[in-house]
Structure 1
Amino acid sequence: MKLEECFYIGYVTKTKGLKGEVQVYFEFKDYEELEFDAVFLEVNGKLIPYFVAEEKIQSNSTGYFYFEDIDTIEKAEKLLRKKVYLPNDKMPERKEGDFYYEDLKGFTVIDKSAGELGEITEVLEYPQQFIAVVPYKFREVMFPLNDDIILSIDQESSILEVDLPEGLIDIYVNE
């Protein structure tokens, strides 16, 4: 399985108990809708399949997993901090009209004052908010994605119009 044939769902955060159970922190928004018969862990740049023997999904973006052949804490510790993926065909289907902040990746950002900033290269999710990353004048400018800043989203033209707080761009450009 190749990386482009999969989508990222989270990473192994810690072990639990002595029998090989691990905790996975989900960074995938709709993790409750995922099916976990097998997952892929990235080990040394390669995706290795792990078959799920048992799973307990929690409401706090975590889940506890037992994988086949991982039956000791020593084996489980080798999985710590490994990224977890599922095959693309396991991605839940979106309902028509669903739009997420992550969908803004690739959109051109136009600020009310500064004009065109560039294309969003990354959308980062933090506990309280989403952050857009845009290369501008050879620097990375980061700004929150929220209703106070976003003026409009043109999905057809892939344009995001924003009104960034005064001085925000200067913080990044005039370092």
Structure 2
Amino acid sequence: MIREDDVYKIGRLGKPHGVKGEITFMFDDDIFDRTDCDYLILSIDGILVPFFIDEYRFRSNETALVKFEDVDTQERASELTNTDVFFPRSISDEGGDNLSWAAIVGFDVLDSRSGKSVGRIVSVDDTTVNTLFELEDGQLIPAQDELIDSVDTDRRVIAMNLPDGLLDIDGVG
């Protein structure tokens, strides 16, 4: 059985495309194209189920058309509309170079100096010039490479050298 901790969300399925089972896939992370993985995991009635990919083709930087094995009709594809799509962390973590912002949601941030946990990442805001980690208590931490000391994918921890006083700012820490 696939557990939620073993995967992370990379997108959502949209409407069927054509009559042979192709479906629109809106993704936040193209890890499925950058790694050697022949399946995606879909949330079907709350159960995480692997679906093997027959083929896919990109329509834009954020959408692709996907054809899954055993999904051969428009009707079958329409049953998957609005289904969340996940990717296995174990495959994403194999190469640190493949680790994306989406993959680190759920990681704990540790202050390298004190060794204390700052909090767990619930989202990454990369819509502005300065990417931020949003922690579960609402704290925003700058996600700059020069602040990140190490990333431990096994323990799901990011050690950061946080600037003095950052955690003392009103609304943070």
Normalised by the length of structure 2, the TM-score is 0.63
Unaligned runs of 5+ in 1: 111-115
Distance across 2 between alignment mates of 1:124 and 1:80: 24
How far does residue 5 in structure 1 lie from its aligned partner after superposition? 7.8
Match of 2:154 in 1: none
Conservation of the 8 A alpha-carbon contact between 2:8 and 2:89: no
How far does residue 41 in structure 1 lie from its aligned partner after superposition? 1.0
Number of matched residues?
A: 160
More displaced 10-residue stretch of structure 1: 20-29 or 85-94: 85-94
1:169 to 137, 151, 171: 171
Q: Aligned pair in 2 of structure 1 residues 29, 54: CA closer, same or farther (>3 Å)?
A: closer
Q: Aligned pair in 2 of structure 1 residues 99, 27: CA closer, same or farther (>3 Å)?
A: closer
Match of 2:142 in 1: 145
Match of 1:54 in 2: 55
How far does residue 35 in structure 1 lie from its aligned partner after superposition? 3.5
How far does residue 95 in structure 1 lie from its aligned partner after superposition? 5.0
Normalised by the length of structure 1, the TM-score is 0.63
Q: Aligned pair in 2 of structure 1 residues 81, 131: CA closer, same or farther (>3 Å)?
A: farther
Deviation track 1:95-135 (CA, whole Å, cap 9, x = no partner) reads 58x8866389312359xxxxx99523115234515432335
The answer to whether 1:155 aligns with 2:150 is yes
Match of 1:2 in 2: 2
Q: Aligned pair in 2 of structure 1 residues 28, 17: CA closer, same or farther (>3 Å)?
A: closer
Distance across 1 between alignment mates of 2:168 and 2:118: 20
Q: Percent of counterpart pairs with the same letter?
A: 19
